[in-house]
Amino acid sequence: MQVNQTIIIYATSVLIFAGCTTLDPKKQLSAPGDGVIVGEASKFRHIVPAGDLENAAIKEFEKIKSKAKERKELADGENLTLKKLIKISKKLEPHTVAWNPSSINWNWEVILIKSDSLNAFCFPGGKIAFFSGIIDRLKLSDDEIAMIMGHEMAHALREHARARIAKAQITDLGADLLSAVIGLGKSERRLIGFGRQLLGLKFSRSDETDADLVGLDIAARGGFNPQAGLSLWKKMKNANTGSPPEWLSTHPSGSNRISEISKNLPRVIPLYEKSRKSIN
C-alpha cells in the first residue's frame, strides 16, 4: 500500500512548524541590529538537527584535509598565506555570535589547500577552507580576503546548508527525513547523507544575497574596509570569462550583487570606522 506523498509532506510540515514554535529563543538566529538588515532564516532548517549536520561536516572536513595532505597540497602552519588567513579569521570570529548564538561553541578552523582553483567554503560548525588560487590569481588584498571569508562564514551562521538539505529531504521524502523529524534513529546513515550533500550543495540567490550582506557586516566589524566588497566582485566578474571559476559556479555573480553591496555600504562603513578607532 502506497502512502499519498502530498499527505506525508503536509503532515511533516505540520510537525516541523509545531516544533518550531517551542524552540528555545536563545538558540534562534539573531542580528546585531545596528548594521545590515536581512530577512528571517528559513524555518525548514529545523528538520535537520544542527548537531548531526555539524558532526557530518567535521567528518567531511577531516576527509578533505587528509586527502589534501596525501597529495602534499595542505599548507602547514609555517605557510605565510595560511597565517594571514588565520589572523583574518580571528578578527572576524568575535562578531559571529551576534548572528548565531550557537556559534560560540564552534571550533573555528581555517585550512589552505594549494590549488589553482578559485574556491573557498565554510562548512557548518565553522570549518573554513581556502584554495590558494583564489588569493594568488585574483591578487586579493587582506580586505578582499575578509569579504570572502565573511561571506562563507555567513552561510554557516545563517544555516543555509541546513535549510537547503532540509528542503531536499522534504522533496525526497526519504527515511532519513522521517528519522530526523520523529527520531527513529539511523544517525550514522544521516551523517553519511549529510556529508555527501554538503559537497555538492548549491545555495539559492536569496542565500547568496544574505551571505553577501551578513559577511559584509562581519568583515566591517572586524576592521576590514567594506569597500573591498565592490573591488572583490569586480575581480570575480572579470575572471568569469569563458567557463566560470569554480567559486562562481556555486556563487552566482552579476551587477545586482555589486548594487546590493553599494546600497548597504552606508550601514556598514560606520561599523568599520568604529572598529578602526578602537584598534588605533
Active site residues: 152
Pick from 172, 145, 276, 161: nearest CA to 223? 276
Cell representation of residue 178: 522521517
Report the DSSP beta bridge partners of residue 123.
127
Q: How far is CA 216 from the centre of its chain?
A: 13
Tally the C-alpha atoms within 13 A of residue 159's C-alpha that lie toward its C-beta: 28
Can you tell me the distance from the alpha carbon of 88 to that of 23, in angstroms, rounded to the nearest whole number?
A: 33
Residue 55, CA atoms < 13 Å, CB-side half-sphere: 12
- Spatial neighbors of 157 by CB under 8 A, at least 6 apart, are 29, 96, 99, 100, 103, 214
The residue among 108, 102, 154, 114 whose CA lies nearest residue 127 is 108
- CA 166 from centroid of its chain's CA atoms: 16
Long-range residue pairs from 75-81, CB within 8 A, at least 24 positions apart, any chain:
75/111, 75/112, 75/113, 75/114, 75/132, 79/112, 81/112, 81/132, 81/135
To which H or E segment does residue 120 belong?
A: strand 120-123
Helix ranges restricted to H, the chain: 5-20, 50-70, 80-92, 132-136, 142-157, 160-172, 175-182, 187-199, 205-221, 228-239, 246-249, 255-279
